Chains A and B, each alone.
Chain A
Amino acid sequence: MDLSPPVQFDLHRRMVRIRVFEEAAGRLAEANKLPGFLHLYVGEEAVAAGVCAALNDDDHITSTHRGHGHLVAKGGDFNRMMAELMGKSTGMCKGKGGSMHISDLSLGMLGANGIVGAGSPIAVGAAFANKYRGRGQVAVAFFGDGATNIGAFHEAANMACALHLPIVFACENNEYGEFTPRSATMAITDIVDRAAGYGMPGVIIDGMDVVAVHEATLEAVARARAGGGPSLIEAKTYRFYNHHGIQNLGLKYRPDDEVAQWKERDPIFTFEDRMIENGTMTRDRVDEIWAGLRGEIEVAIKFAEDSPLPTPDQILVDVYTSMTGAAQ
């Protein structure tokens, strides 16, 4: 591991932030305290953390239906995120978006998305704008293995390459599109095989290894910033919980031993072991970090629970803006 200790601490902290947020959200959902769907990111933390740690604050990301992790990794505020999950007026989206549309434009996070694959064309637009302005910003499109079967992804990948845009396509291949294994929905094993078809470089990395994700992203982002165009990163990863929520609703669609094998490779615990082995981190320090972030989550839950619900007069607010723009 060539990464400096501060970078390692940063990667670790981003992952633990995601984990404690998602574990708390899962518990609240099981207690029926969160309305709607909840797609948890637990198990995939190394991808969001490794990628977002390679980005600047003014770089853009588009996300997926499993989007909390991306926003947390980009620096999302626990209080306003938890309030959004509860549908409160103090939420990130004032209670209008919820889990599936959580966003923070001030952090360049252009939204989780309820439509599989729909974020990639939007990331292409952000990348176009970044190239147009010439300030060296990049865009990252997060998407799953399942999204690479939908037209929007192909159109986005091709257009990004045709226009030579500063973008990184970050695929979280967790081997399942909802409840159906990848092997049933595509005739290839590796998503990265698709990259050559658009004319961009692609790389497979261990998505449970935050260092590998981070280093691959640094390279892809550097290429994009330098005018080298798009690239694709395929991170092999796994979701520890269900497609939505924690429980599998009694339906078994993944073998127990498969789930157990992936859980043994927990991206956070394995990274902690490595850091402790290298002497970068101590067990006590690890425990302190978890305790500190769990404390922050408890504060966030309290903040969300104490926050007011939106009032019905807010229904028609922000459908349109009355503001106009453009120089004349």
Chain B
Amino acid sequence: MSEVRKLTYGGAFNEAVRQAMEADENIFCAGEDIGAFGGVFGTYLGLQAKFGAHRVVDTPISEQAIVGLGIGAAVTGLRPIVDLMFMDFICVAFDQIVNQAAKLKYMFGGEATMPLTITTGGGAGLSAAAQHSQSLEAILCHIPGLKVVYPSNPYDMKGLMTACIRENNPTIMVKHKRLLGMSAHVPEENYEIPLGKANIMRAGTDVTVIAYGRMANETLVAAEKLAADGIECEVIDPRTLQPLDTDSIVESARKTHKVLVVHEAVKFGGLGAEIASQIHELAFDYLDAPVARIGAPFSPVPFSPALEQHYLPDAASIEAGIRNLVQRS
């Protein structure tokens, strides 16, 4: 029964890639350890056995060349999926992502198409320390030409990854490492969730909370606890961070009059700053309080669990933030 079939977040990613590769021979994957080993997070498991080493390619540890491989192949007609393992490694490949992939189409007067998907593991919570835990999505969202996608659950993962692969623009798919084992219903048949469309995960009337990735799930937990006290949260997961579904966010802000933005990236210069600004520009007269933000403190991600658990927002801190905001009206 497909209705009750469950799949993990990582498994949903894998199924999206597999189904896309079955349908289109121009799709290939390349990255470190993704072939014979199946990827350090297991998200590419079994794909090389199924499609062969020419379509699921083990590369050297060379992030610039991995992205360059994707760019050159995309601009000459293939549809590459290249993996950068940890989101922190994006920094190693930053020239190829920012100066090349994002801009080629524009610089070439529209001639180029860049159906390139870059996949990477983001987020903290595994004591992976400062170089394997970052949330760098805001930097990527700042670059015209890129699209940035960050699913919060298995169902969205499959539909969004399918959309990324079908995109003719360079797209960065961020998989949150702590969500890889999250299991939920995922239809077996292929489906696509359009990029740039937010998901209203929970309808509510008292306050709007905007959160993505793992923080969307933490927010849902907080929302359930608050509901017991009669506070009804509307929880919006943008799902795609660039382009951002500003319409859905602003519409909700006008309805609830109070907005909190949550992310595990550092607060300063994070996506919350952009979202808050947009709401202030487009819905200021509807607000009962300034848009509030929750993010990580302005430090590298610490190693020790004793520090990291205080570093990251969680359901409890989100709940407290919402209570604080609701009291302000």
A residues contacting B by CB (< 8 A) are 60, 62, 91-97, 101, 103-106, 110-111, 113-115, 118, 120-130, 132-133, 139, 151-152, 155-156, 158-159, 162-163, 317-321, 323-328
Contact = CB atoms under 8 A, between A and B. Distances in A.
Contacts of B73: 125-126, 128-129, 132
A76 to B, nearest CB: 13
A127 B74 CA distance: 11
B181 interface: no
Given A103-B107, A124-B68, A321-B113, A132 B28 contact: yes
Contacts of A115: 95, 99-100
A129 B108 contact: no
Contact of A318 (B68, B70, B78, B109): B109
B108 A326 contact: no
B67 interface: yes
Nearest to B145: A319
Contacts of B113: 321, 323, 325
Contact of B69 (A101, A128, A319, A325): A128
Contacts of A317: 110
15 contacts: A93-B109, A110-B75, A111-B107, A125-B69, A125-B70, A125-B76, A129-B72, A129-B77, A139-B72, A155-B68, A317-B110, A323-B168, A324-B167, A326-B79, A327-B23
Contacts of A60: 72, 76
A62 to B, nearest CB: 8
Contacts of B112: 103, 105
Contacts of B108: 93, 96-97, 101, 103, 105, 111
B96 interface: yes
A327 B69 contact: no
Given A118-B96, A152-B95, A158-B65, A318 B115 contact: no
B144 A326 contact: no
B262 to A, nearest CB: 28
A126 B79 contact: no
Interface of B: 20, 23-28, 30, 54, 57, 59-60, 62-80, 95-96, 99-100, 104-113, 115, 144-145, 147, 165-169, 190
Contact of A103 (B54, B66, B80, B111): B111
Contacts of A319: 105-106, 144-145
B158 to A, nearest CB: 14
A121 B30 CA distance: 14
A122 B106 contact: no
Nearest to B55: A132
A319 B263 CA distance: 27
B169 A320 contact: yes
Given A105-B108, A124-B72, A125-B70, A132 B54 contact: yes
A130 B77 CA distance: 10
A321 B107 contact: no
A328 B190 contact: yes
Contacts of A113: 100
Given A115-B99, A159-B60, A325-B168, 5 more contacts: A118-B68, A128-B69, A128-B72, A158-B62, A321-B105
Contacts of A103: 107-108, 111-112
Contacts of A326: 20, 23-24, 26-27, 79, 115, 165-166
Nearest to A158: B60
Nearest to A157: B65
Contacts of A101: 107-108
B157 to A, nearest CB: 18
B76 A126 contact: yes
Contacts of B60: 155, 158-159, 162
Contacts of B67: 121
Q: 6 tightest CB-CB pairs across the interface, nearest first?
A: A125-B72, A121-B68, A94-B109, A318-B110, A155-B65, A93-B109
B55 to A, nearest CB: 8
B168 A324 contact: yes
B109 A96 contact: yes
A115 B147 CA distance: 22
A94 B110 contact: yes
B107 A93 contact: yes
A171 B27 CA distance: 32
Contacts of B54: 132
Most chain A beta-carbon contacts within 10 A, residue among B25, B62, B147: B62
A103 B104 CA distance: 10
A327 B24 contact: yes
Most chain A beta-carbon contacts within 10 A, residue among B24, B69, B99, B167: B69
Contact of B109 (A97, A323, A327): A97
B89 to A, nearest CB: 13
A120 B68 contact: yes
A94 B111 CA distance: 10
Most chain B beta-carbon contacts within 10 A, residue among A96, A155, A321: A155
A313 B75 CA distance: 26
A279 B166 CA distance: 58
